[in-house]
Structure 1
Amino acid sequence: MNSCFVKPAVSGRLLRCVFMVALWLASFSAFGETSRPPGHYLLPETGNIVGEAYTVQVENEEDTLLDIAHAHGVGYEEIRRANPDTSLWVPGKGTQVQIPGQHILPDVERKGVVINIAELRLYYYPEVQDGETPRVETYPIGIGRDGFDTPLGITKTTMRLEDPAWYPPESVRQEAAERGDPPPDVVPPGPDNPLGQHAILLDIPGYLIHGTNQPDGIGMRASRGCIRMHPDDIKAVFEQIPNGTQINIIDEPIKLGWDADHLLYLQAFTSRNEQETSISDLLNIVNKADELPEQKRSNIDYEVMQKALKRGSGRIEPLI
């Protein structure tokens, strides 16, 4: 039985909490009550792209790149890819930080929860009332590391647990025993619990979507197969998702996007298996291009496409 195992971590710094609250208040003041939290979007009437990439400036010497990532709804690998030359722990006051806040929606049914492990991101499509504009919420996640792959396929939620206890599985016990540090039979709710304060059980034995006591690891491949979310994010999802919600776990390392102007975009990630771009991936791109008007199709930059596929950087790049 797999489980998400993390070592106990020191609680977050007071300065980080102050930074997060100040940033939220600033955003609220600037955009008013109709503004949406980072990662919450109305679905576009045309196309499949939401959000936008933008730049922010580091305001305090104490701010880390991970603080900024959390404040803007992105994870570890996303913020590192977007800012490869910026210090993770001391970016420095006044530093310009790129926020990769634009997303191509996965090419699957927009229902319930979609988890794309290739991009370490969860998409939640809440049910809406008649006449209400459909929307999506997207959050960075942590997934299984090598040897503990997060399983793919369609499943559903079965139970929600607040302040769950954690029972270390046999694989964790064996590893800990080899280190001479056997774990307790059960870890009660509290700061040492690797499940955090909220857990959503899936209809796959041993797998959960849950919080964490090590939020700096969100956006990394570090769990034993479970899906980790930042404590704030899992709380928001936990309060909305009823039992029986569909969960579609996919591995979509190449995404094609288009906007209202019928411009084509490509976003390529390195998949969990470090797989090479296959012929089917290329055919998918060509087929999408064939749907465009002739004057658009003839302007596709195939050199850009090939470089983007080779890099697998996760950057959204225009092909026209």
Structure 2
Amino acid sequence: MSSCFVKSTCGDCLLRCVFIVALWLVSVPAFAEPSLPLGHYPLPETGNIVGETYTVSVEDEKDTLLDIAHAHGVGYEEIRRANPDTSLWVPGKGTQVQIPAQHILPDVERKGVVINIAELRLYYYPEVQNDEMPRVETYPIGIGRDGFDTPLGITKTTMRLEDPAWYPPESVRREAAARGDPPPNVVPPGPDNPLGQHAILLDIPGYLIHGTNQPDGIGMRASRGCIRMHPDDIKAVFDQIPNGTQVNIIDEPIKLGRDANHLPYVQAFTSLNEQETSISDLLNIVNNVDELPDTKRSNIDYEAMKNAIRRGSGRIEPLI
């Protein structure tokens, strides 16, 4: 750029310098705009889809599919659905792995924490100042297994604990005693603590959002009802989520999305063969389709919608 300020009597050279300076000034905002961390997205001005699906190549022969999932902010079920023919433990150096990092935002108020148990994912909408960009942060989670369902409904955070102690509940004590291995009354902080290093208590007795000492279980239905996060993820949000933050726990297995051009998409996480979808759920989907402009609605491929819901693959699939 310094050469543009060399004194010259050449008109062409002067015009060329002015053009370069103008181009540089136009380009500065694009380079100056800070990039967001993994899993953080600006809220779309139009539509409700964030992120993108992309492919990476396995660089280290020691990498597992779970290592790759964690590095790209997705969970066990997500990475398995996206790569059904890839070995979980030895994908192999050079293997192409699809990263399903595109999400339709849940159809609820964008406030506080939203946990969609159907997709094993948490969304956090932080409060922002007037000069800040509204955004969403999203993370894979583990939830309650069969018989230990994570409760649904709106609650709030009540307390944050760093290096929490774990007091095994009665159900754990009974199971352990039946195996002849009764647990201690309390498990202190450390590598054996299933709560990890961070815990956020909810206003539902006995339920928390917490870390884990078994991060490979993130993205699975494996807990006793609590919401598990990868240790890195809960550490990232721990100081951001104040006490009293709203937490909305929902079960939305089918989501209808719209991109910036109002084109419709569907994302289904559980096959109709595995989980009943109520008539009200399906009517809600149809009603959302009905809100599209006539020119878009008339082109909806309802057969594609039915097939996507039946597959429950978690992919965002076009409906036109």
Scaled by the length of structure 2, the TM-score of the pair is 0.88
Paired with 1:273 and 1:166, the residues of 2 have a C-alpha distance of: 38
1:80-159 matches, cutoff 5 A: 80-159=80-159
Q: Provide the residue aligned with 2:22 in structure 1.
A: none
1:258 aligns with 2:258: yes
Per the alignment, do residues 249 and 65 of structure 1 end up closer, same or farther by CA in structure 2, a change over 3 Å counting?
same
1:215-255 per-residue CA deviation (whole Å, 9 max, x = no partner) reads 00000000000000000000011110011100000001110
1:193 to 1:99, Cα distance in 2 relative to 1, 3 A? same
Matching residue's letter, 2:269? F
Match status 1:319 vs 2:316: no
Return closer, same or farther for 1:32/1:179 CA change in 2, 3 Å cut-off.
farther
Match of residue 62 from structure 2 = 62
Alignment-derived partner of residue 171 in structure 1? 171
Partner of 1:249: 249
Partner of 1:174: helix, strand, or coil? helix
CA distance in 1, matches of 2:242, 2:143: 22
1:35-84 residue CA offsets vs partner (Å, 9 max, x unmatched): 22221000000000000000000001001000000010000000000000
Question: Structure 2: how far apart are the matches of 1:301 and 1:261?
Answer: 17
| Residue 275 of structure 1: aligned partner | 275
SS in 2 for 1:314: coil
CA distance in 2, matches of 1:232, 1:32: 27
The residue aligned with 2:292 is: 292
Contact 1:122–1:140, Cα closer than 8 Å, also in 2: yes
Asked if the contact 2:272/2:309 (under 8 Å) is kept, the reply is no
In the alignment, is residue 215 of structure 1 matched against residue 218 of structure 2?
no
Is the contact made by 1:255 and 1:266 (CA closer than 8 Å) also made in structure 2?
A: yes
The residue type equivalent to 2:275 in the other structure is Q
Q: Which residue of 1 aligns with 2:239?
A: 239
Report the CA distance shift for 1:83/1:161 in structure 2 as closer, same or farther (over 3 A): same
Distance 1:71 1:272, change over 3 A: farther
State the superposition RMSD in angstroms.
1.6
CA 1:279–1:183: 2 relative to 1, 3 Å? same
For structure 1, the 5+ residue unaligned runs are 1-30
Would the aligned equivalents of 1:47 and 1:258 in 2 still touch at CA under 8 Å? Answer: yes
The 3 A distance-change label for structure 1 pair 312 and 77 is: same
The unaligned stretches of length 5 or more in structure 2 are 1-30
Match for residue 27 of structure 1?
none
2:21 aligned residue: none
The answer on whether the counterparts of 1:251 and 1:271 sit within 8 Å (CA) in structure 2 is no
2:14 maps to none
Amino acid at match of 1:246: Q
Give the Cα–Cα distance (whole angstroms) in 1 for the partners of residues 249 and 152 of structure 2.
Answer: 5
Q: Within 5 A, what are the aligned runs for 1:36-51? A: 36-51=36-51
Post-superposition CA distance 1:140-183 (Å, at most 9, x none): 00000000000000001110000001111111011001101111
Which residue identity is paired with 1:173? R
Partner SS state of residue 46, structure 1 = coil
Whole-angstrom distance in 1 between the partners of 2:282 and 2:163: 46
Percent identical residues: 89
SS of 1:242's equivalent in the other structure is: coil
1:113–1:246 Cα contact (<8 Å) kept: yes
Paired residues, what number? 290
- SS of 2:154's partner is strand
Are the equivalent residues in 2 in contact too, given 1:252–1:271 (CA < 8 A)?
A: no
Cα distance in 1, alignment partners of residues 46 and 103 from structure 2: 14
Counterpart check, 1:224 vs 2:224: yes
2:202 alignment counterpart: 202
TM-score by length of 1: 0.88
Greater Rg, structure 1 or structure 2?
2
